[in-house]
A and B are shown apart, each in its own frame.
Chain A
């Protein structure tokens, strides 16, 4: 039975990278409803990327479970998972000089059998993804010649070509300029409008506020707060998560976080 929804449910999840090592995530529980944009917000090293890798199924939890539309991630086959969940890592080594189109075509792997090479319809899907990400003009360029921001857009185009129900994006806007950040925000919103779920990580509260519907705030592997943006993104939660005093301003109905500059001692 193919999963058609995009609801994510995480229950009492714990994870450690080795048996004797410290727990990177402890008793993490949350639900993300279908068709929602959720930001995982927290300082560096708070476990955001680890959490994405767990939802992807790449890492196995030591406790708790992750369900997609009520089905345990551990029970899903690789092929099934790859059609439901797409992933963009923070950085992707650009291999050799694959062209951007050749790279985006890799996103079609979940729809091809073991020895099959991309078909004309895969090519069309890849072209459409390039168009949506606004990098059609780069299609013939080698991936190695792109800037960090352009590479990020290419990776986003690859996951668009994959066309999953759930998008996991690790720091998707970290290298983007203002115009491209806005483009990716719009892209994410259009995915939500199609009923897809987007989970992205960021350490910047304002990036989370600008594009997410809900926020999960993490600190040292524990959930500090979670819920809709306007309820969650307050001065108290930010102080708890980052240890800094901030002021919350209003920017067209969305909270804008401004740090209160303190003199150095």
Chain B
């Protein structure tokens, strides 16, 4: 369908430019690193140096793909959340999922031996528990519409988990466990290998597919309940379905990557300015731009300094900078 004429100033070719940028970013990222020499690996290095090639295939590639997937999932989920909640300041972590995962990871580090698997499993379990608790509490609130109730419940569960994480940090061994917790909370992809990538791919791809396939319906779900209902939808049920897909995909990635904040919040805003608010274009654009955003941040995280910079610090830094720039221009509308 000819989308170009629907919204002057948001032509479809912009989406293709973004796709081109994705390919370019993936290719350049593969050449960025600190071995054999800092910043850029030349093609001749790759052909001559066996170790450089092996590094690229076994460490750099899975990490690049994971970074892209992380950005894509956080941003697409963020776009879906913002539309469904009719609120530009939410993302897929806020229904108790991010805070729940943080609490679970802290608990895993202090009480479950701190093994990678234990921490991830605990983060996933508490992330989903956060979502379930938000949902159950929202059902018990007797006033406000469904979206508002879920928002309130999500905020309270997140606050509860934050308090819990605080307690664990207070009780943690300040020399060993506390630094681990802090580092996990800052987020990063330094330990990612192929098995990690294959572990998260099914759920992440499923979540992304649901959001992508239902993207036009997400437009409908952003209308008020009665309107969506009058157009033949079962708004509560369909919203829950999309939100669950978004949260599941987010949760599996957050467990591997820690707290990578601001991506799901900012990227949909950037995408909206480039391709408009119709989720038919917004969701694919968010996927691509989110992928690029996290990929570039992760390139910096692993190559800018001799040590690893936590990814969450970079996404927050660039995210807030973009956010302030967006806020100070006239086009960010709260309604």
Contact = CB atoms under 8 A, between A and B. Distances in A.
Interface of A: 18, 53, 56-58, 78-79, 81-83, 85-87, 89, 92-99, 101-102, 106-107, 109-110, 112, 114-120, 123, 139-140, 142, 144, 162, 168
Interface stretch (B101-109, B191-199, B218-226, B245-253): B218-226
Given A78-B232, A140-B8, A93 B86 contact: yes
B216 A118 contact: yes
B217 interface: yes
B31 interface: no
Contacts of B233: 78, 109
20 contacts: A58-B230, A78-B233, A82-B232, A95-B86, A95-B219, A95-B222, A95-B223, A96-B82, A96-B88, A97-B333, A101-B6, A101-B7, A106-B223, A109-B231, A110-B231, A114-B217, A115-B214, A117-B216, A123-B1, A168-B230
Interface stretch (B14-22, B133-141, B275-283, B319-327): B275-283
Given A96-B222, A109-B220, A85 B232 contact: no
| Most chain B Cβ neighbours within 10 Å, of A94, A95, A119 | A95
Closest 8 CB pairs of A and B: A82-B232, A87-B230, A96-B277, A109-B231, A97-B277, A95-B222, A117-B216, A110-B232
Interface in B181-235: 213-217, 219-220, 222-227, 229-234
A99 B275 CA distance: 12
A96 B6 contact: no
B276 A99 contact: yes
A102 B278 contact: yes
Contact of A92 (B8, B223, B229, B232): B223
Interface in B297-335: 333, 335
Contacts of B88: 96
Given A93-B224, A109-B232, A98 B1 contact: no
Contacts of B1: 117-120, 123
Interface string B66-95: 000000000000000011001010000000
Nearest to B213: A115
Contact of A85 (B6, B7, B230): B230
A92 B227 CA distance: 8
B277 A142 contact: yes
A82 B230 contact: yes
Contacts of A89: 224, 226-227
B133 to A, nearest CB: 25
B226 A53 contact: yes
B272 interface: yes
A87 B333 CA distance: 26
Contacts of A109: 217, 220, 231-233
A86 B229 CA distance: 10
Interface residues of B, number: 35
A193 to B, nearest CB: 23
Given A86-B230, A95-B86, 17 more contacts: A18-B142, A57-B229, A58-B230, A82-B232, A85-B230, A89-B227, A97-B277, A98-B276, A99-B6, A99-B276, A109-B217, A109-B232, A115-B217, A117-B1, A117-B215, A117-B216, A142-B277
Interface of B: 1, 6-8, 82-83, 86, 88, 142, 213-217, 219-220, 222-227, 229-234, 272, 276-278, 280, 333, 335
A118 B335 CA distance: 25
A85 B227 CA distance: 11
Given A109-B233, A120-B1, A123-B1, A96 B224 contact: no
B6 A106 contact: no
B333 to A, nearest CB: 5
B226 A87 contact: yes
Contacts of B8: 140
B219 A98 contact: yes
Contact of A58 (B82, B216, B225): B225
A53 B226 CA distance: 8
A120 B278 CA distance: 17
B226 A102 contact: no
B226 A96 contact: no
Contacts of B230: 56, 58, 82, 85-87, 168
Nearest to A53: B226
A99 B7 contact: yes
Interface hub of B1, B82, B225, B227 (most chain A Cβ within 10 A): B227
Contacts of B6: 99, 101-102, 139-140
Given A82-B232, A102-B219, A120-B1, A58 B226 contact: yes
Contacts of B231: 82, 106-107, 109-110, 162
A87 B233 CA distance: 13
Contacts of A82: 230-232
A167 B86 CA distance: 26
Nearest to A94: B335
A56 B333 contact: no
A137 to B, nearest CB: 12
A21 to B, nearest CB: 11
Contacts of A101: 6-7
B217 A98 contact: no
B276 A81 contact: no
B287 to A, nearest CB: 16
